[in-house]
Amino acid sequence: MKLELKPFLLAALLAAPAGASGYTARDASCAAEDMQLFYYYLSPVQDAGVKNRPTTCHPGKKSLQLPAWLERALPAMAGRKVWKDPEEGELSEAVVWQTPVSILYEACARLAAADPMTDSAGFNDMRIRFIMSVERVTRAGLETSFGGRGGPMLATLDAATRAFDGLTGALSKDDRKAFDESAAGLLKSGRDLFAQVFEEPRSGGKKPAARYTPEARVLPGYRGVSLPVSASQAMFLSRGERVDMLVSFEALTGADTKEKVTATILQNVIVTGVQKAAAAGEPGVVQLLCNPNEAQYAALSLAQGSSITLIRRAPGDTEMRPMEIASFRRLIK
């Protein structure tokens, strides 16, 4: 995402409260300014306007200087490849951090504009992209990044994810008060993320077990597919987890020869809801977040297959793998 480096003068003048319990347009424009500058801090080259940036958003300061420790660290961050994307290729440590920063800029700038609640589709899209970008930071193992600031900064990104959940949830209910409160939380997280660049590394950080799990919900353009599963499967599944879906069925494997086989039909789908079995021997129900094509295959599997099995994935495992159809005939060859 290309950001145009410019002051948010107009938005900063619109300082009326966005909501009775929320934030001002100046709050949003200042958060956007911070995110914009942070994005350019992480670029391969920083010009004089980035290294010494005038500001009216930081009391007691007329300008912000690129921290010397970060300027020294940037060449290594730009050169160190930490992620391989099938479309974008190998991505550097700096670029992996740049992505959530750019989305926070986008959200803050939208909150600074008029009538942000009219852009439900835009905020939902930002939320999805932000969750994916934070997951990439996590899986790249960047807790020691930024001279030991990475862990606490990741915790701040988690707080922003929580705010995105609250903000988009409020939009679905047309709840202005909840929207303003979550928007204020998002702006606070953005500014806190930027502030850490100018501080000594914070102690602690978040342990993996304490990390925030984004809400699993049916998103625009997706479908919530409900499937009956055995009580033993439903017992160990939780909302927000990722699963693969296996279906067993009879297939023609030779001339008029039928054989029971199992195929992986879906991979890396999110569980949006779980209804545990009411009693022993009764089925549970699991709802999966599927795109329209995946939803068709899930429905076909339910109609044609003899059994459906949902395989739980480890946290953070989103890799898609080619899978062969399993059969006993292949096993004993």
pLDDT 10s digits, 108-162: 999 999 899 999 989 988 998 998 899 899 889 999 999 999 999 999 999 999 9
Residue 248 dihedral angles phi and psi, to the nearest 5°: -105, 135
CA-to-CA dists, residue 16 to 7, 23, 115, 124, angstroms: 19, 9, 13, 25
Q: At what angle do helices 150-173 and 176-195 cross, to 10 degrees?
A: 170
pLDDT tens profile 260-309: 899 999 999 889 889 988 887 888 999 998 889 999 999 999 898 889 99
Q: What is the value of pTM for the model shown?
A: 0.72
The two structure tokens encoding residue 324: 């062969």
pLDDT tens profile 20-60: 457 899 999 999 999 999 999 999 999 999 999 999 999 99
Beta strands 242-254; 307-312: pairing state: antiparallel
The H helix count followed by the E strand count for the chain is 12, 10
